[in-house]
Amino acid sequence: MTRRGARIARRACATRRGERLLRGAIAVLLAAFAVGSLDNLLFAVPAAICSSLLAVSAITGWCPIDLGARRPAEDESNAFGYPDARERIPN
């Protein structure tokens, strides 16, 4: 993830108590919408999925944006031992 993407993700993820309570309240409202629209599964299923993700986020502080975050690939170490752009160069 780029620096800009990491900053956006940090702002998007709630870590304070008030923000987590707000996410919990939104999860309850979204779950009520999902139950109310059970006759139309096209709306009910995505609403239920989003509601469960918000509930987990509110309880644990985990961020659903982390699902789409890219992890750096594990590269082989340099065979010759010379520092390159993939490694931190000592001063």
Distance of CA 78 to the CA centre of its chain: 33
The Cα 29–Cα 17 span in angstroms is 19
Task: Report whether 83 contacts 89 (CB < 8 A).
Answer: yes
Average model confidence (pLDDT) across the chain: 77
> Is pLDDT of 48 > 90?
yes
| pLDDT tens profile 50-72 | 999 889 888 888 877 767 666 66
The Cα 61–Cα 75 span in angstroms is 31
Per-residue confidence (pLDDT) for residue 44, from 0 to 100: 94
